[in-house]
Amino acid sequence: MLRNKEIILGVTGGIAAYKAVELLREMVKRGANVHVVMTKNAQQFVSPLTFETLSGNPVLCEMFRLFRGSKIGHVTLADIADLMVIAPATANILGKIANGIADDLLTTMVMAMKVPVLFAPSMNVNMWQSSFVQNNVERLKAHGYQFIGPAEGDLACGGAGRGRLADIAEIIEKIEDIFTKKDLQGQRILVTAGPTLEAIDPIRYITNRSTGKMGFALAKMARRRGAEVTLITGPNYLSLPRRDIQQISVHSAQQMRDVVMEYYEDCHIVIMAAAVADFRPQNTLQEKIKKTNGTYILKLEKNPDILKELGEKKGEHILVGFAAETSELMENAGQKLKEKNLDIIVANDVTQPGAGFGTDTNIVKILDVRGRVRKLPLLSKDEVANIILDQVVKLVRKKQRNLPWPRNW
Ligand code: C5P
């Protein structure tokens, strides 16, 4: 997403300036060409050499250098940039820009920017809460400047509260968001993720190897593309780099079913990426089962098939299912597509290295109701999520215009 993007990273003089180094690395890792601009005060915290080494570009601190020494010559950075990020943004820089002051290279550049400018503020909690800073933030927002954070937590000045630089993952997510076309705007999407956990007794349970990564990737990408997202998850250890996704935690398949049903009518699209347990213990015991000699027979009964139930009352919904298989992948997936009345099924041979549970990558085939198959190579789960959502967008458009099924996959 950030490949070949020209990004200006403005660093101002706060203790969180050291975190801007990590932000730079993450942007470079994603393929961006980053030009760092530092204020005089920022140089007290981190040496320009650090940013210069990691960005591979000269760090700009003074007006004159921009026009003389740098390889971009007379073309100003403001003209070539796709985005400017100021992280950390101090109370001082917010105040200066909100009041139209341009007395150094960074503030002058901000004034000349025609592309989005993102501020990641970081300061003492009382400074952040001061009416001066709050007024300046409002003013900047009214001018179209964007903000991420600050976050709550321990502060470098001692104490705790809102004032920490947002997590680097959240800043990166915000940057990716700014560059993403909002082709799912207006759509409400329900995504399920993770395993379900079926209790045997108060201590033990049955579950499966799903970690929730595929569902989380789908939820994140759908939100990035403008959808309103509700993510219903079984137990997992994952965190989302955004706070604008409604997350509901459940344990058992029955609980997942109940929550899904509650939200179903109100959504347009359901993507069931959860590995819902097919069976649960017939009786969940209230007391721990005592260790005895010999065998212990556990009787299982079927869990509700959530997706099948959704398919039976499909209406205008778009339904996407997953089929994790260890054999006869396509036959099984095709059958589930029909049985559950789905629009798309994502077939996943979990025996392949790099595919299925727990990995950051996946190898899938996407089948539609017309029997068409799109085979994808080994890709990150984020990439797979985006391709699945591309198909969903086509279905949404078709529905909106009442067109026949899309011809090009
Ligand atoms: O039938 P099978 O479990 O293989 O189908 C997989 C698809 O159905 C997945 O999308 C999964 O989330 C969903 N499913 C469900 N309820 C179940 C079992 C699976 O919704 N009890």
User: How confident is the model at residue 67, as a pLDDT?
Assistant: 54
Which residue owns the Cα nearest ligand 1 atom 4? 323
Which residues neighbour 258 within 8 Å (Cβ) at sequence distance 6 or greater?
none
DSSP state string for 108-159: HHHHH--S-EEEEE---HHHHHSHHHHHHHHHHHHTT-EE--PEEEE-TTSS
> Of 182, 213, 319, 216, which is closest to residue 260 (Cα–Cα)?
319
CA distance linking residue 253 with residue 257, whole number of Å: 6
**Ligand 1 atom with minimal separation from the 192 CA:** 12
- Out of 210, 255, 276, 338, mutate this one to test ligand 1's pocket (max ligand atoms within 8 Å of CB): namely 276
Which residue owns the Cα nearest ligand 1 atom 6? 323
- Out of 280, 307, 309, 332, mutate this one to test ligand 1's pocket (max ligand atoms within 8 Å of CB): namely 307
Asked whether 307 lines ligand 1 (CB < 6 A), one says: yes
> Please, are residues 386 and 395 in contact by the beta-carbon 8 Å criterion?
no
For the full predicted model, state whether its pTM sits above 0.75: yes
User: How confident is the model at residue 75, as a pLDDT?
Assistant: 52
Distance 277 CA to ligand 1 centre (A): 8
**pLDDT per residue of the chain (409 residues) written in tens, 0 to 9:** 899 999 999 999 999 999 999 999 999 999 999 999 999 999 999 999 999 999 999 999 987 665 555 555 445 788 899 999 999 999 999 999 999 999 999 999 999 999 999 999 999 999 999 999 999 999 999 999 999 999 999 888 888 899 999 999 999 999 999 999 999 999 999 999 999 999 999 999 999 999 999 999 999 999 999 999 999 999 999 999 999 999 999 999 999 999 999 999 999 999 999 999 999 999 999 999 999 899 999 999 999 999 999 999 999 999 999 999 889 999 999 999 999 999 999 999 888 999 989 899 999 999 999 889 999 999 999 999 999 999 999 999 998 887 655 555 4
Which residues neighbour 2 within 8 Å (Cβ) at sequence distance 6 or greater?
27, 30, 31, 32, 175, 176, 179
Set out the domains of the chain in order of their start, with CATH numbers: 6-178 (3.40.50.1950), 188-401 (3.40.50.10300)
**Ligand 1 atom with minimal separation from the 304 CA:** 21
> Of 344, 221, 220, 206, which is closest to residue 276 (Cα–Cα)?
206
DSSP 293: S
User: How confident is the model at residue 77, as a pLDDT?
Assistant: 84
DSSP state string for 250-273: --SHHHHHHHHHHHHTT-SEEEE-
Distance 248 CA to ligand 1 centre (A): 19
Asked whether 322 lines ligand 1 (CB < 6 A), one says: yes
Distance 311 CA to ligand 1 centre (A): 11
Which residues neighbour 29 within 8 Å (Cβ) at sequence distance 6 or greater?
none
Asked whether 191 lines ligand 1 (CB < 6 A), one says: no
Task: Give the residues across from 89 on adjacent strands.
Answer: 121
Asked whether 303 lines ligand 1 (CB < 6 A), one says: yes
> Please, are residues 106 and 119 in contact by the beta-carbon 8 Å criterion?
no
Instruction: Count the neighbouring beta carbons within 10 Å of the beta carbon of residue 179.
Output: 15
CA distance linking residue 24 with residue 86, whole number of Å: 11
Contacts of residues 228-232 at CB distance under 8 Å and 24 or more positions apart, as own/partner, are 228/187, 228/188, 228/189, 229/189, 229/190, 229/191, 230/188, 230/189, 230/190, 230/191, 230/263, 230/267, 231/191, 231/192, 231/193, 232/190, 232/191, 232/192, 232/193, 232/256, 232/259, 232/260, 232/263, 232/274
Max CA separation in the chain (angstroms): 84
DSSP state string for 197-249: -EESSSS-EE--S--SHHHHHHHHHHHHTT-EEEEEE-S-----S-S-SEEEE
Of residues 80, 111, 157, 285, which has the active-site annotation?
157
Distance 306 CA to ligand 1 centre (A): 7
Q: Is 61 a catalytic residue?
A: no
Distance 312 CA to ligand 1 centre (A): 14
For residue 272, count CB atoms less than 10 angstroms from its CB and return exposed for 0-12, middle for 13-18, buried for 19 or more: buried
Asked whether 337 lines ligand 1 (CB < 6 A), one says: no
